[in-house]
Structures are given as C-alpha cells and as structure tokens.
Amino acid sequence: MSHPQSFAVFGHPISHSLSPHIHQAFAQQFGMALDYRTIDVAPEAWVDAVRHFFQEEGGRGANVTLPHKHAAFALADERTQAATRAGTANVLTRLADGRLAAHNTDGAAMVRDLTERHDLDLRGHDALLLGAGGAARAVAWSLFEAGVQTLTIVNRSPEAADALADAMGEPARVHTRYWEDLGNIGSFDLIVNATSAGTLDQSLSLPFSLIASRATCYDLGYAKAAFSFLAWARAAGARYAHDGLGMLVEQAADAFELWHGKRPDTESVYQLLKAQSV
Ligand code: NDP
C-alpha cells in the first residue's frame, strides 16, 4: 500500500525517540493529519530501508539519528552546506524529481536554543567544545558563525579535533588541545558537551577549573544522558546548565518547515516535554 506524504525517523535503536511526539505536536498546531513513524533498522539494512521508504512508501522526508547520520549524508544526491561541513545529515528530503537532499540542522538548532530560548549572546565568548563527532562538527561551525571569540576543540581522539579545526581554517580563533590537558588550559565562558559519553552511560572526568565565572554549560544530550555533565557543571559553579532538549525540538522544527513550509511554535512543545522529563 502506498502512503502519500509519509515521514519517519530512522535510527537503531529508535523506540525511545521523541521525534514522533514532536512532529505530531507540530502538526496539531496546523490541524494537519501526519503519517510519521519510527523505523528501526540496523546499519547493514539501512540503504535498502531508506530506498524502500522513499520509492515505495510515499516517503517525503525523514529524520535520521544514530547510527545512520554518515550513511544519510553519503546516500543523498545533493547536500546543503551545513551537511557538507558536518559530513553528516539529520534530515533527508525527497525533492520533486525524486532525488534525495541531505540537510544538517543540528548546529543551527543548538545555537537557536542557546541564543533565543536561553537568551545567551554568544559574541565575545571563549567556548570549549568537547567532542569532534558529527554533532560537534555541526555545532562548531554554528558557534563560530554566532560570533564566539575563540573556539577550543578537545576530543578524546585528537585527530578528529585537528581535522575539524583544519576544515574550519580559522587558526586565529579556532584551536585544538589534548584531552589530557583539560586541567591546564584555563577556563571558558561556554562549555559544550558534544560527546556521546552520557548516551553511552559513561561519565566524563572533567576539572572544575574549566568553568569561568558566569559560565554556561550545555549538553547536547538530554534527560538521563545529560545528568552527569550537568551535575558536574552545577557543582563546578556554572551559572547556567542546559541539556539538549531544546536543540532537539528546534531541529525538528527545521525539518517540519522544510517538509511542510510552515514554522511551528517550539516553545509550547519544549515546555511540555520538559515537564514530562522531570
Ligand atoms: P558521534 O558518534 O559522531 O561522536 C561521538 C563523540 O563522542 C566523539 O567525539 C567521541 O570521541 C566522543 N566520545 C564518546 N565516548 C566518549 C568518552 N567516554 N569520553 C570522551 N569522549 C567520548 O556522535 P554524534 O556527534 O552524532 O552525537 C554526540 C551526542 O550528541 C550524542 O549523545 C547525541 O545523542 C547528541 N545529539 C543530540 C542532538 C539533539 O538534538 N539534542 C542532536 C545530535 C546529537 P572519539 O572521536 O574519541 O571516539
């Protein structure tokens, strides 16, 4: 059976994804009926599943999460600049001619959450980015473009941090340091945890000396995945400590607008999810 205008989120695992709830809440704002489902598929079956969805099931758009973001970028026929910079895609859209476009809205979503929801003016900040995976790469460019004064990238595997800094090509403002040196690289106004440690039930061992007075800490993870980093941030004296729930809602809004041409209200959905996660 074909489904006109189907939408989905692909991941593995995916059963706990909030994306279906978020997209249905957005659709309700416009009185739309939305066919949006979760598709759990292992990496080896991913390409076939995506082709089937878009070619046989009326697929119009898909959100993509771990572990498929690199594969989504590779599969697409065309890619936005943000996706190309990140090397990953979190949104796929079927174009009118049937080809697939890859987008990466993670970086813009994170910066919008910080600057608009949490009222932070990033200009002039010294920012520390922990991690250099797909999400970190997206976030690095967006933080830079939002005007941070310096961006220091530290990754457990230093090569990935160096590759990101090299790709950005801004040696006066973007630097890398070794993870082992976190205790003696000074303090930062903004510390972003873009590692997947929390999602993997691992905790980072971070020195309190990283936190400048009035610092903001931000974990891309949310709910349980962010507990450990945010607890460290508060114990170390951070002025603000935010999880990535707002980023999740913002990136969903970007996908919704790409697919439906309408901008949903994110704040009501964010507040609802936040209340449910307490
Ligand atoms: P990747 O797998 O691409 O990258 C993982 C990163 O985490 C790498 O830099 C890796 O370092 C680092 N890492 C993993 N474990 C540890 C550890 N124990 N100590 C130190 N570093 C570690 O993942 P993504 O970039 O796609 O995602 C990162 C996180 O961001 C995930 O938790 C994901 O859920 C979250 N996220 C949230 C979004 C939202 O909307 N809120 C959107 C996108 C992502 P190394 O290179 O050394 O392996």
- Which is the closest atom of ligand 1 to the Cα of 137? 25
pLDDT value at position 277?
81
Domains of the chain listed by start with CATH number: 6-104 (3.40.50.10860), 107-245 (3.40.50.720)
- Which is the closest atom of ligand 1 to the Cα of 251? 40
pLDDT exceeds cutoff 90 at 197? yes
Does residue 15 or residue 175 have the better pLDDT? 175
**What H or E segment, with its residue span, contains residue 190?**
strand 188-193
- Which is the closest atom of ligand 1 to the Cα of 245? 41
The answer to whether 151 and 119 have CB atoms below 8 angstroms apart is no
Mutate which of 105, 176, 195, 202 for ligand 1 pocket (most atoms within 8 A of beta carbon)? 195
Where helices occur in the chain by DSSP H, the ranges are 19-29, 46-56, 69-75, 81-86, 106-112, 134-145, 158-168, 224-235, 245-260, 267-277
d(CA 86, CA 137): 5
User: Six-digit token pair at 205?
Assistant: 């061992």
Gap from CA of 250 to ligand 1 centroid (Å): 19
In SS3 terms, 220-262 reads as: CCCCHHHHHHHHHHHHCCCCEEECCHHHHHHHHHHHHHHHHCC
Question: Ligand 1 — pocket residues by CB below 6 A?
Answer: 66, 69, 106, 131-136, 155-157, 160, 194-197, 199-200, 202, 204, 220-222, 225, 244, 247-248, 251
Gap from CA of 245 to ligand 1 centroid (Å): 15
Residues whose CB is less than 8 angstroms from the CB of residue 130 and which lie 6 or more positions away in sequence, other chains included:
136, 154, 155, 191, 192, 193, 194, 195, 204, 206
pTM of this prediction? 0.96
Average pLDDT for 59-70: 96
pLDDT per position as a tens digit, 111-168:
999 999 999 999 999 999 999 999 999 999 999 999 999 999 999 999 999 999 999 9
pLDDT value at position 278?
57
CA of residue 164 relative to chain centroid, distance: 16
pLDDT value at position 243?
98
Gap from CA of 229 to ligand 1 centroid (Å): 13
Average pLDDT for 95-109: 97
pLDDT exceeds cutoff 60 at 8? yes
- Crossing angle (nearest 10°) for helices 267-277 and 19-29: 140
Gap from CA of 86 to ligand 1 centroid (Å): 13
pLDDT value at position 2?
44
Gap from CA of 3 to ligand 1 centroid (Å): 34
Minimal-distance CA residue to ligand 1 atom 12: 195
Catalytic residue numbers?
69
pLDDT exceeds cutoff 60 at 207? yes
d(CA 165, CA 57): 41
Mutate which of 196, 230, 243, 270 for ligand 1 pocket (most atoms within 8 A of beta carbon)? 196
pLDDT exceeds cutoff 80 at 83? yes
pLDDT per position as a tens digit, 15-58:
889 999 999 999 999 999 999 999 999 999 999 999 999 999 99
pLDDT per position as a tens digit, 221-259:
999 999 999 999 999 999 999 999 999 999 999 999 999
